[in-house]
Structure 1
Amino acid sequence: MRTRRVGASGLQVSQLGLGTLTWGRDTPVAEAKALVRRFHEAGGTLVDTAPAYGNGVAEKIIGQLIHTDLQRSDLVIATKGGFGVKDGRRVVDTSRSALLDDLAASLRRLHTDHVDLWQVHAWGEAPIEETLEALDHAVRAGMARYVGVSNYVGWQTARAATWQEAVPGRTPLVSSQVEYSLLARRSEIEVIPALRSLGMGLFPWSPLGRGVLTGKYRGGVTPRGSRGAADHFSWFVEPYLEDKSRAITDAVAKAAEGLDLLPHQVALLWVRDAPGVTAPLLGPRTVEQLDELLGLDDVSLPAQITAALDDVSGGPNVGRTSTP
């Protein structure tokens, strides 16, 4: 698998990342380990996780793997802090103490002394300078090599990155993680232009439109065992089952048929090669699903297909024609 540089930093990652959102709940431990092994065999390095994924189970699985099947240096481990679930409620706490406590706990579960990329999981109520000072501390202490943010909108991204640039010695933000797919192109308006201006990389999550772009929900049927059929995930999928999304999904399926590809391969290629993207984060639950997304290094969408998908999903991507 080819690698890409994360923004203007020196960090190199595989051009696809492996996400771990469902590990410990919908993805059993044995299957999760098999996913990492297969991803590594294919040349993948970037594994993205968080304390909230499986209530820490995802990090524990990675920690076990790097002491049994893999070497620590085989993976670029990205995790997050500042978000969790307590007593059934989602809690965002980006204070210095909460963030550093999260990181210390992550390192214990990962059985490592550092993560390659540490990200603030969401914008919180703590002063941004306090949040960012926690990132500085983590890098100075050797607990994290690089830092970034996740789920920040454009102005939040610009404010945080500019604060770090304002004084020599602060740690620059190298990346942002946001939702981006043919069904979710809002980040093209402000987030992606901001990242480009700031020299930051982009890790799109849900590049397959929360699974909808695979075509499994076409015809108005929700397959048994899918995320849309799960009580804890149906809310996540339902927003992309309306008429506009169906038209986009149909267009992806038609393109796939003409190119002799699978619909989810077309959807992934569109995101992978979109302007500003560093590495889409994949969320397969089985090795079979992962295999269908690997081996596409030498495959790209024809310009005419890309333009047609742009048009049906919201219009031209101005980043394709803008001056570098």
Structure 2
Amino acid sequence: MQQRHLGHTGLKVSRLGLGTMTWGRDTDEHEARDQLVAFLEAGGRLVDTAAPYSDGDSERLLGSLIGEVAARDDLVLATKAGIGRRGSERVTDTSRGALLRSLDASLRRLGVEQVDLWQVHVWSDATPLDETLSALDLAVTSGRAAYVGVSNYTGWQTAQAATWQQAVPGRVRLASTQVEYSLLNRAIEHEVLPACQALGLGVLPWSPLGRGVLTGKYRTGTPSDSRGASRGFAGFVERYLDDRSAGIVGAVARAAEGLGWTPLEVALVWVRDRPGVTAPIVGARTAAQLRAALATEGKTLPPEIVAALDDVSGEET
């Protein structure tokens, strides 16, 4: 698999990342092992998780596979902090103390001394930005993280954070941001992508398949084994089960038919090769689903297909 530099850093990552949000919940240890094996065999390196995924079980499961399935040096480990739970309530806390405690807990669950990329999961108005960013500096200077980034920041938030880190002596430069980006959601093109290109941040799109909708699986209803049918993800998927999305999915399906590809391949290659994108993060429930995504390596969309998809998906509201 082709490797790309993460922003203006020396860190190289595979141009597809493996997402593990469902690990430890919908994806058991056997499927997780099969996914990681398939990913590594395809030349993948970037594996992304987060402290709150499956209440920490995603990190625990990934940690149990390091050494068994993959050597530590074969992986680029990325995790996130800033979101947690207090009982049944979701809690956002990007204070320095909370972030560093979360990082230490992530390292224990992963069974490593350092992660390659540590990201603030979400922006919070409750904590001064300078304090949040100081946690990233401490993570690097203490050796707990090699590189740092942010996630789910708007354009102005991204620019403010990156500029602060570059302008103040002794600060650690942001390597990347992780944001939603697909044919069904191109909002980051207005401000986030230009900010990242101007300030040298890599972009790691999450949900590059439009929360699964761009695969075409929802065209005739909601499959019983899909995320759209699950209690935890039904609302997550529902946003893209509207008429506008249906038109885009139809265009993707027509393009796939003409190329002899699958709709998944069309949608994923479109995101992967967008200007400024480093590596889409692909989350799969099963190893078979992941292998379908890995089949995109070596594929390139013809310019006329890219232009048609740009046109049909361009009216972002």
TM-score class, shorter-chain normalisation, is over 0.9
The reply on whether 1:44 has 2:50 as its aligned counterpart is: no
Partner of 1:229: 229
Partner of 2:191: 190
| 2:2–2:15 CA contact under 8 A, matched in 1 | yes
What is the correspondence of 1:96-245 to structure 2 with a 5 Å cutoff?
96-124=96-124, 125-219=126-220, 221-245=221-245
| 2:4–2:14 CA contact under 8 A, matched in 1 | yes
Q: Distance in 2 between matches of 1:86 and 1:248?
A: 39
The reply on whether 1:299 has 2:308 as its aligned counterpart is: no
| 2:204–2:279 CA contact under 8 A, matched in 1 | yes
Q: Distance in 2 between matches of 1:104 and 1:224?
A: 38
- What per-residue deviation string (whole Å, max 9, x for no partner) do you get for residues 4-23 of structure 1? 00111111000000001111
Q: Distance in 1 between matches of 2:204 and 2:237?
A: 20
**Superposed displacement of residue 33, structure 1:** 1.6
- The amino acid across from 2:277 in the alignment is V
- The amino acid across from 1:248 in the alignment is I
**Superposed displacement of residue 35, structure 1:** 0.6
Q: Distance in 2 between matches of 1:29 and 1:151?
A: 28
| 2:35–2:287 CA contact under 8 A, matched in 1 | yes
Partner SS for 1:277 = coil
| 1:119–1:148 CA contact under 8 A, matched in 2 | yes
| 1:33–1:61 CA contact under 8 A, matched in 2 | no
- The amino acid across from 2:109 in the alignment is R
**Superposed displacement of residue 297, structure 1:** 2.6
Q: Distance in 1 between matches of 2:271 and 2:90?
A: 29
**Superposed displacement of residue 295, structure 1:** 3.4
| TM-score w.r.t. length of structure 1 | 0.96
- The amino acid across from 2:256 in the alignment is A
Partner SS for 2:91 = strand
**Which deviates more from structure 2 when the two are superposed, residues 60-69 or residues 152-161?**
60-69
Superposed CA RMSD in Å reads 1.0
What is the correspondence of 1:271-286 to structure 2 with a 5 Å cutoff?
271-286=271-286
Partner of 1:7: 7
Q: Distance in 2 between matches of 1:283 and 1:22?
A: 8
- What per-residue deviation string (whole Å, max 9, x for no partner) do you get for residues 125-153 of structure 1? 21100011110001000000000000000
Q: Distance in 1 between matches of 2:131 and 2:57?
A: 28
**Superposed displacement of residue 299, structure 1:** 1.0
Q: Distance in 1 between matches of 2:87 and 2:135?
A: 26
Q: Distance in 2 between matches of 1:122 and 1:304?
A: 36
Partner of 1:90: 90
- What per-residue deviation string (whole Å, max 9, x for no partner) do you get for residues 161-184 of structure 1? 111111222100010000000000
Q: Distance in 1 between matches of 2:214 and 2:296?
A: 17
Partner SS for 1:148 = strand
**Superposed displacement of residue 85, structure 1:** 2.2
| 2:36–2:69 CA contact under 8 A, matched in 1 | no
Q: Distance in 2 between matches of 1:228 and 1:315?
A: 24
Q: Distance in 2 between matches of 1:67 and 1:270?
A: 34
| 2:180–2:206 CA contact under 8 A, matched in 1 | yes
Q: Distance in 1 between matches of 2:43 and 2:216?
A: 27
| 1:121–1:150 CA contact under 8 A, matched in 2 | yes
What is the correspondence of 1:4-43 to structure 2 with a 5 Å cutoff?
4-43=4-43
Partner SS for 1:232 = coil
**Superposed displacement of residue 296, structure 1:** 2.6
- What per-residue deviation string (whole Å, max 9, x for no partner) do you get for residues 171-206 of structure 1? 000100000000000000000000000000000000
Percent identity over the alignment is 60
**Superposed displacement of residue 242, structure 1:** 0.4
Q: Distance in 2 between matches of 1:297 and 1:18?
A: 14
Query: Which structure 1 residue ranges, 5 or more long, are not aligned?
Result: 317-324
**Superposed displacement of residue 315, structure 1:** 5.7
- What per-residue deviation string (whole Å, max 9, x for no partner) do you get for residues 71-111 of structure 1? 11010000011111221221110000000000000000000
Partner SS for 2:37 = helix
Aligned residues: 315
